[in-house]
Amino acid sequence: MSRRFCALVVLFAFFFGAAPEALAKSLSTPEGMQVRNSAERNEEYERDVDQVASASQEQAIAKLSNLLRKYRDTPQEAGLLARLADFQQQYSAILFRIGHGYSKRTGGSDLTRYNKSLQQSISTLNTLVRKYPSYEGVPHAYFMRAKNLDEIGKKAASVADYQYLVNNFPEAEDTPAAYMALAEVSIIANDHPKAIHYLGEVEKLPDDPHFPFALYKLAWSQYNLKNVGRALAYLEKHIAYYRELKLEATTKGFVVEQDAVNSDRALQENSLLDIVLFYFEGYEQKDPQYQLSDTLSYFRKLEPGPVFGRMLVKMAKLLRSHGHEADLVSWKDQVLLAESSLPESLEVALTTYEYQLNKRRYPQVVESARDFIKVYSKHGGKEGFMPLFTQAQKLLLDTAEGLQAIIIKNKGNEEAKPLSATLAAIYESFTRIVDDSDLRVPRVHYNLAETLFAIQDYEGATEHYRWVALRGEGDADASLKAIASRYEVLRLKQLADREIKARKLPADTTGDESQSIQNADLDKRLLQWIAWIDTHYDKYHSRKPADSEKIESFLFEADRALYVNGQTAAATQRLRKFAEKNPKSKFAIPAATLVVDTYIITANWEKTHELVLEFLEEKAWKGGSFETRLAGLAADSYFKVMEEKFGRKEYAQVLKDSGKFLKKYEKSERLPDGLRLAGQSALAIGDKLLAKHYFSRLIQERPKADGFGDALLARGSLAEENHEFKAAAADYSGFLGLSAESYRKAQTDTLRKKVLMLTWLAGNTGELRALLGNKAVCTDNLTEDCEKFEALVGLATPERSGSQEDAEKALKRAKAASGENRVFWALVGLEGAKHLEYRDRVYLIRQVASNWDDLESISKYAVLPQVSRSVARAFAFNRQEMSEIAPLRANERYIKRRVEVIREMENAATKAMNLPWVRIRAELLNEVAQLYLDFSKDLAKLPPPKNMPAEDIALYEDTVRKLVLPFEEKGQDLRRKAFELASKFAVEDDLLKKIVDPFFAENPSQAKSLKSSVVLPPPAELGLGYLSVLDPTGNWKVFLKQSPKEIIFEITQPEMRLKQLWVTALSASNWPQIAFVMSEAKDKKAVSDGTLSVMRAIALSRAGARAEGLLELDAARKDLSPESGNNVALTLIGYSARAYSKERISEWLNALKLEQLNQYQKNAMIAASAFIGVEIKKH
C-alpha cells in the first residue's frame, strides 16, 4: 500500500470524525483490486457503543489524571500531559456524537459536556506548552489546542496557534492540516488570496493526505476570484489525482473499503459537476476560451463516463437559472444532436421545455415538445428513458391543461389564438410519445381536434374528429364536429360559404325534373363532406333533436356549396326539397329564397309567379317577412311578365294586364313600376291623356317611389308639350329637388334653365323669385342665367324695384354685368330713375341702347313695355332737373356747362333712338326739343349782371336774343320731327297729345291745315274682337263668350291650345308668354300668316308699340281675305286720322280694293276721303 493512499485514508477519517480503531484496520492485497462492503451499523447500536466508549474514556482520563499528580514535575509529566490531552480529545469527540444523537430524539443538541471536555483538553495543552516548550509533541499540542479553541468559538486564539505552528514548526506532521485550517478561516473571511497562499503550501506536498483537498479548495478560491482558467486547472488536477489513485489501486490490486471508494467517487463527481459551474462562469464572462460550442467536447474529454450526462443536465440548468434562453436552446440542440443516446439528453430537453413554459415562450415550447418526439422515435422503448418519457407525458398534459384554462379565460381575445396553436402542438406531441393503446389517447385526439379547430387548423381537426367518430364513443358529436371542421376547410378553399348569387338554371331544364349531382369536376373533399352530412342527417336527425338545427344548417350549406360549384339544377332541387320537408327549420326560408332567386335570375317569370304563389300557401311561413317578400315577388314577377310584353311592343296587351295588375297589387311596392309601364305603353300608342293619368297617379300616390322622378320628367314633358308652363316648371323643379344619386345625370343645367324659362313664361313671378333662391336650380354654373331672371323679376314688379335702394343696387349690377344682363339691370335701375343722379340715368340709357342687340327676340318683346316707358321717363327726369344739374347764370361758364349737358343728353338720345320702337324715338325727339326750348326760355329770362351800366343793358338784351335764337329754332325743328314721326306712325294717344299740343300751339297754321272738320268714327280697338272679325274661321269667338282660363284644350287640340295661351297671356299682359306663343304658332303653323301678323299687331299695340303694331297690321293685309284686307286699311285710316296724318290716310285709301268694299266700308272710305279734303261720289 502506498504512503500517499494511506495518508489520504487517515486524513479523511480524521476530518470526518472516524474512530481511531478504523485507522488501525489492515488492508490486504489480493490479486486485483477487491472492495469489501462494511456491514451497516444500527443507529441504536452505535449510540450504545458511544456510551460504553464514553465511560471507558472517563476511566482512562481519571487514571491519567492520578498518574499526573504522581509524576508532576518529573520527566514523565510531559508525555502524560500529551496522552491526557489525546484522551480528552477522543472523549470530546464521543460526547459530540452523543450530544447530536440526543438532538435527533429531543429536537435540540446538548453540548454542555462536550464543551466542558474541550475546555479541560485546552487546559491540559496549555500546561504542556507552558511547562515543556521543547517537548517533541508540542507542535501537535499547538495543533490540538487550535482545533479546540476554534470549536469553542475563540477564532483569534485558534488562528494564532495555527499560525505559530506553521511558522515555527514547518516540518511538523500537523503543519499541512494547520495550513488547511488557516485557509478555511481565510475562505470564510472571503480573503481568497490569503487562502490561496496557505493552500499553496499544501500543494507543495503531493504525498500529503491533505493534498487533494487543497487542490479542491484552491479551485474554489480561484473561482471566487473570477480566475476561471486557474480554477478549472485545479479541478482538472483534482480529478486527475483521483483517477491516478483509482488506477494505482486497480493496478496494484489494493483492497479498498466500499465507503472509501464511494467517497472518492463522490469527491470526483463533485469536481466534475463543479467543472460545469466554473466553465459556465467563464462563459458568462464572455471569455472566448469558454464558448458554448466547445463545451460538449470539453466535458466529454474530462468525463467520458456516467457523470458526463449529469454534467450536461447541470449545464442546462445553469443556463436556465441565469436566463440564457437562446443558448439554452442551442445547448439542447447540441446535446440532442450528439448525445441523444443518453437519457440525460431528454432531461436537458425537459429542462429547456420547463424554462420556456415558465417564460411562456409558447412557440419555443412547441419546438421542445417536438424534440421529445425525435428522442422517442429513437429510444422510446429503452429502459433508461422510460421514466423521463413518463415525466414528459405528464408535463405535456399538464401544459395542455394549463393552456386550456388560459384559453377559456381569454376566449375571444386575439391573444388566445396563438395559445390554441400551441395547445394543438402539445396534444400532437403527446400522441407521438405514447402508445395508441393508452386510455388517454382518444380523449387527447378529441381535445387535439378541439384545439386544432380553435386555431383554425380545420384539416387536422377534421382528421382527429373523424378518428374519434369512427373508433371512439359519442360518435354523433364527433361526426357533427368533423362535418363542421371540413366545412371550414371547404370555406377556406372557397368551395363553401362563398358569397352566393343566384344563377340561371341550365337552358335544358326548368327545375322540375329530377336532377343528380354531376361530380366529375367537383372536389373530392366536397363530395365526401356532403356524403357525411347526408349520412348524419339520415342517422341522427330524428334521434338527436338537440342537434337538428346544426345538421340542418350543414345540409343547407351543402346545398349552397353545390350551388356555387356549378351544380345549380341539383342544388335547387335539394334546396326546394329541404324547404318543403323542413318548413319550420330556420334554414327553410333561406333555402326557399335561393330557389325563388334562381327562378328569378333565370327570368322565367311565369314559372316564378307560380312558385311564389305555391310558397305563399305554406302555413309555417305566414305572418313573417318572408311572406311579405313573397307577396312582393308575386307583384314583381307579374310585373316582369308585363315588362317582357312591353319589350315585345305588345303595348295594348300591357295596358290590358295593367288593369289587372293595378287592381290586384295596388298596395305593393311595384305599383309605381306598374303605373310607369302603363304610362309608357299609353305614350307608345299615342294616348297622351291616359299616359298623363298614369304618371299623375304615380306622382300623387307614391311620391317616394324610385320612379317618382321619371314620372315627374314624363309628366313635365307632356305639360311642356301642351304649353302648360306652370305645371311643367313645377314638375321639372320638383325633379331637380330630388336627392337620389340616380337622378344626378338627368339633373342638367339645361333642365335648370328650362325650369327658369317655363316659370318666367308662366308669369309666376313669386315662384320665379323662390327658384332664384333654390340651390338645386341656381347652381354656380347658372349664375348669369339666374341674374338675368332676377332682373326680369324686378322688371315684372316695378313697385318692388322702384325704390332708391333697389335702383342703386341695379346700377351696380348693371355695371358689373355684361351682354343682355346689363340691359336688364339697366332697365331695373331706370324703374327707379327718380332716385338716381343725372349721369347714372344717362349711363343706364346708353347701356340699354348699346347692348340691345344682345337680347334674344323673346327678351326684347318681354321688356318692350319697360323700355317704352322708362327710357323717355329718365330723359324727362334729367330735363326737369336741368336747373339743378347745370344751373344757368349770365356767365359764360354757366352757359357753356348747360350747353355741354344738353349735348350730352342729345347724344344719349341719339344712341337711344337706335332702339327699334317708334314711340321711344318720337318721345325722345320731343324731350330733346323741349330741352332746347327750355334752355331758350331760361336764357331769355336771365337778368343783366348787377352793376351793368344802363347804356349796356340794351346791348346785353340784344346779345341774348341772338344767342337764344338758334337754340329755339333747333327746338322747334326737333319738335316738328317728333310730330312727323308720331303722326306718320300713329303712336299711342297719350304720347301723340303730348307732342301735338305744343307743336300745334307753336305752329297754328300747320295745325289748321292738318285738322279737319270731318269727324271720323273711332278706329277699331286692336283686340280679340277685332281678331275674330279678321279671322272669322279661327274660332276666336269662343274666348269672347267665356274666360279662356275656364276652357280646357288638351294635347289633342294643339292649335286651340296655342290660341288659348295667347288670349290668356294677352289678358294678363304676360309679354314673354305672348312672344313664345307667337313663335310657336309660326313654327307649328297653328294659324295663317295673316292671322299671325294680326296677333302680333294686337300684342305690340298692347305692349306700348302701337306704331309697330299698325305696321304689322299693314303687313297682314296681303295675307288676309280682300274683305279683311279692306277692313285693316280702314282701321289704319282711323288711327292715321287720329294722328293727323292725311298723307298716310291717302296711302290707305289708295290701298283699298274698291270692288270688294261692302256698304259700310264704302261709307267709311267716303268719310276718310272727306277728312283729307277729297270728294268721292256715292255710287
Write out pLDDT tens, residues 770-797. Answer: 998 998 899 999 999 999 999 998 888 7
Q: Measure CA 619 to chain center.
A: 44
User: How high is the pLDDT of residue 104?
Assistant: 60
User: How high is the pLDDT of residue 200?
Assistant: 93
Q: For residues 479 and 536, give the distance between their C-alpha atoms in angstroms, rounded to a whole number.
A: 7
Which helix (H) or strand (E) is 979 found in, with range?
A: helix 950-985
Taking 90 as the threshold, does the pLDDT of residue 1135 lie above it?
Answer: yes
Taking 90 as the threshold, does the pLDDT of residue 312 lie above it?
Answer: yes
Write out pLDDT tens, residues 354-365. Answer: 999 999 888 999
Write out pLDDT tens, residues 614-664. Answer: 888 889 999 888 888 888 888 989 889 999 999 999 999 999 988 888 888
User: How high is the pLDDT of residue 474?
Assistant: 55
Q: For residues 216 and 573, give the distance between their C-alpha atoms in angstroms, rounded to a whole number.
A: 90
CB burial of 302-313 (b: ≥16 within 10 Å; e: otherwise) equals: bbeeebbbbbbb
- What is the separation, in whole angstroms, between the first and last Cα of the chain? 193
Q: For residues 449 and 455, give the distance between their C-alpha atoms in angstroms, rounded to a whole number.
A: 10
User: How high is the pLDDT of residue 493?
Assistant: 87
Q: For residues 82 and 74, give the distance between their C-alpha atoms in angstroms, rounded to a whole number.
A: 14
Write out pLDDT tens, residues 240-274. Answer: 888 888 777 777 766 555 665 677 788 888 989 99
User: How high is the pLDDT of residue 279?
Assistant: 93
Q: For residues 369 and 371, give the distance between their C-alpha atoms in angstroms, rounded to a whole number.
A: 5
Taking 80 as the threshold, does the pLDDT of residue 303 lie above it?
Answer: yes
Task: Count CA atoms closer than 13 A to 195's CA, side-chain side.
Answer: 24
Q: For residues 927 and 779, give the distance between their C-alpha atoms in angstroms, rounded to a whole number.
A: 44
DSSP assignment of 1045-1099: GG----TT-HHHHHHHHHHHHHHTT-HHHHHHHHHHHHHTT-S-HHHHHHHHHHH
> Which of 542-547's residues contact partners 24+ apart within 8 Å by CB, and which partners?
544/476, 547/476, 547/480
Nearest Cα residue to 165 out of 190, 182, 189, 148:
182
DSSP assignment of 822-891: HHHHHHHHHHTGGGS-HHHHHHHHHHHHHTGGGS-HHHHHHTHHHHHHHHHHHHHHHHHTHHHHS---SS
As given in the structure block, the three cell numbers for residue 688 are 297622351
Q: For residues 606 and 368, give the distance between their C-alpha atoms in angstroms, rounded to a whole number.
A: 68
Identify the weakest region by mean pLDDT among 261-275, 407-421, 510-524, 598-612: 510-524
User: How high is the pLDDT of residue 1098?
Assistant: 94
Q: At a CB cut-off of 8 Å and minimum separation 6, what does 695 contact?
A: 675, 676, 679, 711, 714, 715, 718
Q: For residues 397 and 423, give the distance between their C-alpha atoms in angstroms, rounded to a whole number.
A: 10
As given in the structure block, the three cell numbers for residue 361 are 415562450
Write out pLDDT tens, residues 394-403. Answer: 999 999 888 8
Contact (Cβ atoms closer than 8 angstroms) between residue 215 and residue 203: yes
User: How high is the pLDDT of residue 96?
Assistant: 83
As given in the structure block, the three cell numbers for residue 964 are 337764344
**Residue 108 confidence class, pLDDT cut points 50, 70, 90:** low
Could you tell me what percent of the chain has a pLDDT over 70?
Answer: 91
Contact (Cβ atoms closer than 8 angstroms) between residue 993 and residue 923: no
Contact (Cβ atoms closer than 8 angstroms) between residue 829 and residue 840: yes
Q: For residues 1100 and 1111, give the distance between their C-alpha atoms in angstroms, rounded to a whole number.
A: 10
Computed over its alpha carbons, how large is the radius of gyration of the chain? 67
Q: What is the pLDDT of the chain when averaged over all its residues? A: 86
**What's the fold here for domain 1024-1171?**
1.25.40
pTM beyond 0.95, yes or no: no
Residue carrying C-alpha cell 294678363: 1068
Which helix (H) or strand (E) is 627 found in, with range?
A: helix 625-647
User: How high is the pLDDT of residue 34?
Assistant: 41
Contact (Cβ atoms closer than 8 angstroms) between residue 215 and residue 196: no
Nearest Cα residue to 369 out of 380, 359, 357:
357
Residue at 328: amino acid letter: L
Q: For residues 618 and 632, give the distance between their C-alpha atoms in angstroms, rounded to a whole number.
A: 16
Contact (Cβ atoms closer than 8 angstroms) between residue 125 and residue 145: yes
Identify the weakest region by mean pLDDT among 417-421, 828-832, 878-882: 417-421
Q: For residues 693 and 679, give the distance between their C-alpha atoms in angstroms, rounded to a whole number.
A: 8
Write out pLDDT tens, residues 984-1012. Answer: 999 999 999 999 999 999 999 998 999 88
User: How high is the pLDDT of residue 337?
Assistant: 92
Q: For residues 688 and 709, give the distance between their C-alpha atoms in angstroms, rounded to a whole number.
A: 18
Write out pLDDT tens, residues 683-735. Answer: 999 898 899 999 899 999 989 888 888 999 999 999 888 888 999 999 988 88
Q: For residues 371 and 209, give the distance between their C-alpha atoms in angstroms, rounded to a whole number.
A: 47
Contact (Cβ atoms closer than 8 angstroms) between residue 1075 and residue 1103: no
Q: For residues 160 and 30, give the distance between their C-alpha atoms in angstroms, rounded to a whole number.
A: 47
DSSP state for residue 108 in the 8-state scheme: S
Q: For residues 1152 and 1176, give the distance between their C-alpha atoms in angstroms, rounded to a whole number.
A: 14
Mean pLDDT, residues 1127-1131: 93
Q: For residues 1024 and 1044, give the distance between their C-alpha atoms in angstroms, rounded to a whole number.
A: 12
Mean pLDDT, residues 1054-1064: 87
**Residue 45 confidence class, pLDDT cut points 50, 70, 90:** low
Identify the weakest region by mean pLDDT among 98-107, 483-492, 877-886, 968-977: 98-107
Q: For residues 80 and 63, give the distance between their C-alpha atoms in angstroms, rounded to a whole number.
A: 11
Mean pLDDT, residues 431-435: 87
User: How high is the pLDDT of residue 513?
Assistant: 54
Q: Measure CA 429 to chain center.
A: 43
CA angle 295, 298, 299 (to 5 degrees): 85
CA angle 288, 289, 291 (to 5 degrees): 70
636 C-beta neighbours (distance < 10 Å), count: 22
Question: Could you tell me where the DSSP H helices lie in 359-440?
Answer: 362-379, 386-409, 416-432
Q: For residues 585 and 587, give the distance between their C-alpha atoms in angstroms, rounded to a whole number.
A: 5
Contact (Cβ atoms closer than 8 angstroms) between residue 931 and residue 972: no
Contact (Cβ atoms closer than 8 angstroms) between residue 351 and residue 371: no
As given in the structure block, the three cell numbers for residue 830 are 331706370
User: How high is the pLDDT of residue 1113?
Assistant: 93
Strands (E), 449-579: none
Q: Measure CA 745 to chain center.
A: 28
Taking 60 as the threshold, does the pLDDT of residue 37 lie above it?
Answer: no
Nearest Cα residue to 1045 out of 1069, 1075, 1071, 1068:
1068
**Residue 1041 confidence class, pLDDT cut points 50, 70, 90:** confident
Nearest Cα residue to 305 out of 391, 242, 228, 229:
242
User: How high is the pLDDT of residue 258?
Assistant: 61
Which helix (H) or strand (E) is 813 found in, with range?
A: helix 804-816
As given in the structure block, the three cell numbers for residue 92 are 470530546
Write out pLDDT tens, residues 474-489. Answer: 578 888 888 999 998 9
Mean pLDDT, residues 543-565: 84
Contact (Cβ atoms closer than 8 angstroms) between residue 718 and residue 710: no
**Residue 223 confidence class, pLDDT cut points 50, 70, 90:** very high
User: How high is the pLDDT of residue 197?
Assistant: 94
User: How high is the pLDDT of residue 5?
Assistant: 37
Taking 70 as the threshold, does the pLDDT of residue 41 lie above it?
Answer: no
**Residues shown for the chain:** 1179
As given in the structure block, the three cell numbers for residue 333 are 440542440
Nearest Cα residue to 971 out of 943, 998, 944, 942:
998
Identify the weakest region by mean pLDDT among 140-144, 167-171, 264-268: 264-268
Q: At a CB cut-off of 8 Å and minimum separation 6, what does 44 contact?
A: none
SS3 content of the chain, % helix, strand, coil (to 5): 75, 0, 25
User: How high is the pLDDT of residue 814?
Assistant: 92
Sketch the domain layout of the chain as residue ranges: 42-158, 804-1010, 1024-1171
Highest average pLDDT, of 251-260, 289-298, 1153-1162, comes from 289-298
**Residue 6 confidence class, pLDDT cut points 50, 70, 90:** very low
User: How high is the pLDDT of residue 717?
Assistant: 92
User: How high is the pLDDT of residue 103?
Assistant: 58
CA distances (Å), origin 797, targets 793, 814, 871: 6, 18, 17
Could you tell me what percent of the chain has a pLDDT over 90?
Answer: 40
CA distances (Å), origin 849, targets 794, 813, 907, 914: 19, 17, 12, 7
